[in-house]
Chains A and B, each alone.
Chain A
Amino acid sequence: MSSNVNNSDPKDAKLRADIDRSLRHPVMFFFTSGALWLFVAVLLGFLGSLKNHAPGVLADCSWFTTGRVQLAHTNILIYGWACQAAFGAIIWLMSRLTRKECKNAVLILVAGHIWNIAITVGLLGILWGGSTGISWMGFPTFVWPVLLLSYFLFAAGSIVQFMVREPGHVYISQWYLVAALIAFPWIFGSAHLFVFVFDGHPLMKAAVSEWYHGALTYLFFTPVGVACAYYLAPKVTGRPVYSYHLAMFGFWALMVIGPWAGMQKLLGAPIPKFLPFAGAAATILFLIPALTVAVNVLKTIFHEDNEMDVNQSPSLRFTIGGMVGMLLMGFCGLLLFTSGALRATQFSLTGYGYDILAIYGFFSLCAFGIIYFIVPRVTLREWLSKRFIKWHFYLSLYAIALIVIISMGGGYMQGIAQNAPDKPWTDAATRTEAYAVGTTLAWGFIALANFVFLCHLLLMWARLGRRSTHPTLIGGEHHAGSPHGPEGDLEKIQAANA
């Protein structure tokens, strides 16, 4: 990997330090505001899930009626947290991998503020009763052009950085990042135009909104998550990626399969019949890139020389979690979206469970991995507490396991009850209730995990982290040989330069 070649070269270390300094404010802005929104989204998720079995909670308040809370929860999770975590990761990784300092930090910050203001207005709009009612496009319609504009403001810099890079090798993570950077405006723009601007058939608008849902998952969040994993695995272990060919294959498999997914939600609707089947097929075939990427990354990480890193590095641990999440996505897709199973899972909790697995169990864990890696470098402080990191990790893990078992397995059972026409509808409805209780419990775990994470990150943002040359590791005492390599000496270099 290019930036790993001369790890001990002081000139090289200075370049890295300069890049990190140039990006401190934009990256920290995206990560902290993202974490803040994540906490809001998790609380809304908890409330929404609670209302699915205890409808009396906050029942008289129009702002918190069940449907509005659900819409707010999903949209804040996507645009408030996931997008912003991805943006932060993209700008940092792009700068590091193209070895260029960020020259437009102010512009990125402006874009970030516009984005956050738009999200805030959007959230209030939903709760006030101005939502469009479309699951992943729930903000009032005037919000989306602002989001797109803000995206262009921040993404232009990263694209330019890539175009003017020094000729030479392009690393795997960069393919994924460039693909995500191109995919986002393409997916976001065309979906919103088709749904809100053009005068189409209402059913096709619904189909496009579901395609958007799938495409954003597979062509934006997935590539960014994978880019983080491909960056961290060799960086932390100091070993090259297991197979370059496999990486290439996984990339193109994802890019070819991803854009077809999504419309399986409309199985049985009177739209051209192949669309839902193509969507279901793509969701199943996602197993191929998932398997390729996860095997490749895990093979890089799990090697007898790396045992110490695996046990100690928080970034690696989250990345491993994310890769397992990606594998689970692949296998669950295989089990739950075949045409036999789809009739049960189409309108059950399963779809929601799959989304949470994709956004939290896969993408967010990868994003946490990169955040635990980036933040000490840009703030020049180490994480305060290994206990906080452990809580964050294990609580997230339990929650995801719960959601996978409950929403996906339970959703299947619920779907079977829905499809038993001779039994009263109440049967299917009461079956849902137990699973809804479990989901609420899981959101409770996630809320706790992210409260810890948010506090930890805010302390780091306030530059109250440890002043130390030793990275915070989760596995015990500090070792002489830091698993992060000589980069732990950043502060010394900074001091020497000052």
Chain B
Amino acid sequence: MNFKTFVIGLAVAFGVPWVFALALPYAKMTSLEPVEFDEIQDERTGVYESKRVGRLDGAKHYAANGCASCHTQLIRPTYAGNEIHRKDWAGQPGDPANGVPDTRRETNPFDYDGEEFAFIGQTRIGPDLSNVAIRAEKAAAEMGISTEQWFLRRLYDPNEFFYETVCPPMTFMFKEVDAISAVDALPYEASEEGMAIVPKSQAESLVGYLLSLRKDEEIPANLDPRAKSAN
């Protein structure tokens, strides 16, 4: 084996996967074709545009604090996992008798719109966060507080809601201010009398990002393999 054949061999061995598993899929995914609603299946027409509500600038705090080490953001199809059947993870199971539609669905490529990087995640030490805003909304409604407040309290003291959680308290994202001027203070005791705990801006933007993690808007049946097969 001389050097020339060696280099050619390496170039082919590296080049083929680089082109077919990296460059081409990358190019293909960069310009995704818009998906249209189907008149018959969806009972409406037009091009689907994902409308995420929330603050996507909070994604950088999600990244920098390594949330993706323990949390995923992916609802896999049933050939790859069962989270579609887990309560509140993928949406609401339907109740045909009462006319409640099945809103559970897999992740689609438009779900990460507006983000720099899709935090699929490394492990599931904690639960999947694809629909965490929906779960938070429910939990907050039960407690009679706003969803935002629920998230803030959840970040400040995770053990308040889940006794055994290993999720670290993000106390450094909060500060203490004079209780008189405090708006939206957290119901925890500050270190001194007359002070109150309020979120710093990073906590607010992180919560804004978490509030955007809900997949319950109407999508075309073409984007949802489950709906497609049901019809």
Chain A residues in the interface with B (C-beta under 8 A): 51-55, 59-62, 65-71, 129-135, 170, 175, 178-179, 182-183, 186, 190, 194-195, 198-209, 211, 219, 248, 252, 255-256, 259-260, 263, 265-272, 275, 278, 339, 342-343, 346-349, 351-352, 418-422, 425-426, 428-430, 432-433, 436
Once bound together, how far apart are the Cα atoms of A70 and B167, in whole Å? 13
Interchain CB contact (< 8 A) of A133 among B62, B79, B106, B164: B62
Given A65-B65, A133-B117, A268 and B171 contact (CB-CB distance below 8 Å): no
Q: Would you give the shortest CB distance from A169 to chain B, in whole angstroms?
A: 11
Residue on A nearest B169 in the bound complex, by CB: A59
Smallest Cβ distance from A92 to chain B, in angstroms? 22
Q: Are A347 and B72 in contact (CB under 8 A)?
A: yes
Contact A255 B14, beta carbon cutoff 8 Å? yes
Name B3's closest neighbour in chain A (CB-CB): A170
Beyond A133-B63, A248-B1, is A62–B124 a contact (Cβ under 8 Å)? no
Name 6 interchain pairs, CB-CB below 8 A, sorted by A. Answer: A55-B158, A59-B169, A130-B64, A268-B77, A418-B124, A421-B87
Q: For residue B106, which residues in chain A have a CB less than 8 angstroms away from its CB?
A: 268, 270
User: Which of A53, A205, A255, A436 is the one whose CB lies under 8 Å from B13?
Assistant: A255
* B interface: dominant SS: loop
Q: CB within 8 Å of A: which residues of B? A: 1, 3, 6, 9-10, 13-14, 16-18, 21-22, 25-26, 28-30, 32, 61-70, 72, 74, 76-77, 79-87, 106-109, 112, 115-127, 158, 162, 164-173
Contact with A208, one of B22, B158, B170 (Cβ below 8 angstroms): B22
Known: A211-B21, A432-B125. A204 touches B29 (CB 8 A): yes
Q: Are A132 and B63 in contact (CB under 8 A)?
A: yes
In the assembly, what is the distance between CA of A199 and CA of B167, in Å? 33
With both beta carbons as reference points, the residue of chain B lying nearest to A347 in the complex is identified as B124
Docked-complex contact B25 and A275, CB < 8 angstroms: yes
Q: Is the CB of A252 within 8 A of B9?
A: yes
B165 contacts across to A, CB distance below 8 A: 55, 429
Distance (whole angstroms) from the CB of B40 to the closest CB of chain A: 24
- A205: min CB distance to chain B, Å: 5
Contact across chains for A260 and B30 when beta carbons are under 8 A apart: no
| CB proximity of B131 to chain A, nearest CB, Å | 13
Q: Which of B6, B26, B117, B170 has the most CB of A within 10 A?
A: B117
In whole angstroms, what is the CA distance A209 to B121 when docked?
A: 11
Given contacts A133-B64, A190-B22, A199-B30, contact A66 B69 (CB under 8 A): yes
Query: Do residues B67 and A194 form an inter-chain contact, with CB atoms below 8 A?
Result: no
